[in-house]
Every structure is written in C-alpha cells, then in structure tokens.
Amino acid sequence: MARPRPATAPPPEAVLRAFAPRDGQRGLGLPPEGRPGPRRTSSGPWWKADAASDPWRDPHAPAALGRPAEYVEETPQDDGPLVVDAKGRRRLRLGDISLPVAVVAVLSLLFVAALGGTLSWYLGRTAGEAPLLSPGTQLSEVSPGISEAPGSVASIAQQVGPAVVSIEVRVGDSGATGSGVVVDAENGYIITNNHVVSGAADVDGAEIRAVFSDGSGSAARIVGRDPASDVAVIKVEKPGLVAASLATPGSVVVGDPVVAIGSPLGLAGTVTSGIVSALDRPVRLSGEGSDTNAVISAIQTDAPINPGNSGGALVDGTGAVIGINTAIASLGGTGTGGGSIGLGFAIPIDKARDIAEQLISTGTAVHASLGVQARTVTDSVRDGALVVNVEPGSPAEAAGIEEQDTIIAVDGQPVGSSEELQVAVDSKAPGDTVTVEVVRGGGSSFEVQATLTTA
C-alpha cells in the first residue's frame, strides 16, 4: 500500500499572485512575462509539451525548473597604453603614447647622461693624486714554513748539499768547472771525475780550487786520477768539512727516486730530481780534451744533468750517495758536453769507492785485462764482441782465443757488444780466472778458461 503523501503548505500569497494558474492550468504557472528565453522552449531538453502530465513530475512540488544560467562576456577594460600579453604580463603600448611625452622622456635621459659624464670628468680632473711614496710602510708576511719531511727533495738537499763542492780549474788563460763530493772530512779527500781535473795534471802554474756551500774556497791538489774509470781524488786543507754518506752496493733498483746535486754551468748548489731509469748500462766515455778513455757500467737517470754536474753526487731518498755523475746522452752521442735530454749517467758508488781507495792509498788504480781489442758485431741471430786483435802473451792468447773469434759470454753472463765485454772484464780483479764462451767461424760455441792480468 502506497504511503500517503504528506500535506504541503500552500504557496505564499505573493507567489500565488505572480504565478496564478491560467487557462485551466493546475498548480503554479509561468511568470507574468511569459515563458523564459530561447533556451527554454517547448522543444528544449528540459521542457516538453507533455511536461504537465509527466508521471515523474510532481505538479504540486514547491520547486520548478527555472531559467538556465546566462553567461555574459565581459568587455575588456581599456588600460590606456598598458596592454596584457598572452602570458598575463603588462607591457607598454608605445603607439598610444603621445609624441610630446616621448620627446620629454628622451630629453630627460640625455640630460641625466650628460650631467653624469660631466661630473665624472670634472671630479677626475680636480681630484688630487695619492702620494707616490709612503714612509714606514710594512708589507704583510706569513709565519715561518714547516720543516721539510724526511726523504723530501728539500730535506735531501739540506743534508747532502754541504758535502758537494764546486771545482774550478784554471790553466793559463783557460778555465773549467765541475763538481766534487767530500768523502773524508778529516783528511779533506774529495771524489770527482778525471776529465774535470786532468787538464791541470802535471801542468806548471795550473790551479785547482774547491768552493764549498758556504761560499768559502780552498786550494786543492790532485791525489790520483784514473782515466780508465773517469774517477779522480783531490785533497784540500780545510777544517770543519762535512762528508757525504756513501750507499752500499746493490741498494738501488730501477724506479727509485734520486736527486742530483752539483754545479751545472757554474751554478753552484743546483739540485735536480728524477728516478733511476736503468742499471748496469754500458757507457763509453770519450776524452773530450782529457785523457779519459773508459767504459763504465753506469746508473742511468732522468734527473737533469748538464756540463758542470760532472763529479757531483747522485743521491737516493735516504740521502746516501749512490753514484758520481759523469756523463750525459745527447743527440750526437754520449759524453760530458751538450745539454740534458733526460738521459744522464753516473758511476756506481761501489766502483767509485774502490777506485778512490786505491788512489788514496797508492795514487793509481789497477784494472783486470783479457788482452784483446774487440768491436761490436751481430749476425742477426746472436750479438757479441768480435776480436780484432789479440795481444801477444795476453790471457786471451794463452786461452787459445784467436782474431775473428766472437766472444758471447763471460762467466755465464751474455756479452752483446765490445762495451759489455770490457765491463764484464773490468768487474773482475787481476788474477781472477774467468770462463769465456767463444764462437769461431760459423760453428757452434765453445768455452775457454783465461786468467786475467793487470791492464
């Protein structure tokens, strides 16, 4: 059973007068002015001809469909010369600015610019210059630097520098410079190169002078020199010397950092650094105005070495001297002239020490000899030293070595050149017996025994 509809209150009197039924209608009718506008017509979506008899419409409902909302476009306001662009930004519309206003604005800008420039010029002309001198001025300074860490280049230079000297040689009107290392502070012995002092040997009026790191100098005398190793020892009479520490044999490996200290081009106390780039490098040292004729098994370094470094120290990271700088490589060959191209050579300190001890003891040094002269040769299969001369009565002759034989090893160590043969023999002492491997003609190699003598 349907639930009875609750009674509704009658519409107010004012509404009844405005919307009174007309033409037999029931309920509220249209307003006095008639139907709404064109949006609400009998054919519109919300009003139909049978709307009054529509079962879903309650003619007794207090609410009825009203006039649809109307949208009226606003008329843009005239903001004068200011316009709003598509992004909502206000801009000046120059076309709406009157000509007198524009002229006044431009003239104002020009006046301000002219006034500013005139004032700047006037003030610059009339301002007085600051005094050129300022008595009593003190510049800023920083606190003293931190002491260098052990093993740094600066620390090594401070440690070894006082033991490295400059050597000045004067013969008549000519002169030369080199370097040296103090090895005996008590007796004043200094190691240097033979080619540094050989020009003053046995020459009347020749002068040799050692200049120390503190600027003092002292006359020096030649104790002994050895052209076959390019080592010489000089002596000074000066108290309070500082001697360098000499490294032990075999304490150096390729890649170790090194420092070269000497007087290149007469510039005393010069320090350069690098690494050990090779060991046991056979290097032939030419005379270049001296009687030096040596082949050494050198330490190769890329620490810059120049003329005047000869006789100076090559030092490892502990401050110990590992070699005596003696030669540099240049595009024209190997010697003591030219300039550094990153290839320098030093006599290993164990060899220099041995020769120096002999020179200090006897004034001369002895070397072992096989008694052959050789040149480097290769047959594209095997390198060696081709014997071009055998000295009569030499160990080589006694061992049966003949001319045109090729020596390829000494005591099992390969020999690939005449320099390597000389280094291998020089590493021995007179009286030592060595095994020499020889190739004769196109045959196979064979070994002979030879007892070395004094060169």
What are the catalytic residues? 195, 230, 310
Instruction: Give the helix/strand (H/E) hosting 388.
Output: strand 383-390
Tokens 């008595």 -> residue: 135
Residues near 213 by beta carbon (within 8 Å), at least 6 away in sequence: 161, 162, 164, 165, 268, 269
Distance between CA 21 and CA 28 in Å, rounded?
A: 6
- Reading the block at residue 236, the tokens are 């000074």
- Reading the block at residue 324, the tokens are 């005596």
Distance between CA 91 and CA 94 in Å, rounded?
A: 9
The alpha carbon of residue 85 and the mean position of all alpha carbons in its chain are separated, in whole angstroms, by 58
Task: Specify which residues 258 forms β-bridges with.
Answer: 274
Residue 18: CA count within 13 A, CB half-sphere: 7
Please, what sign has the CA dihedral across residues 321, 323, 324, 326? negative
* One-character DSSP codes across 308-320: T-TT-EEE-TTS-
Distance between CA 42 and CA 132 in Å, rounded?
A: 103
Q: How far is CA 109 from CA 101, 106, 112, 118, 223, in A?
A: 13, 5, 5, 14, 93
Q: Are strands 82-84 and 90-92 parallel, antiparallel or unpaired?
A: antiparallel
Distance between CA 193 and CA 354 in Å, rounded?
A: 14
* One-character DSSP codes across 10-71: PPPHHHHHHS---TT--S----TT-S--TTS-TTSTT--TTGGG-TTS-TT-S----PPP--
* One-character DSSP codes across 397-430: HHHT--TT-EEEEETTEE--SHHHHHHHHHTS-T
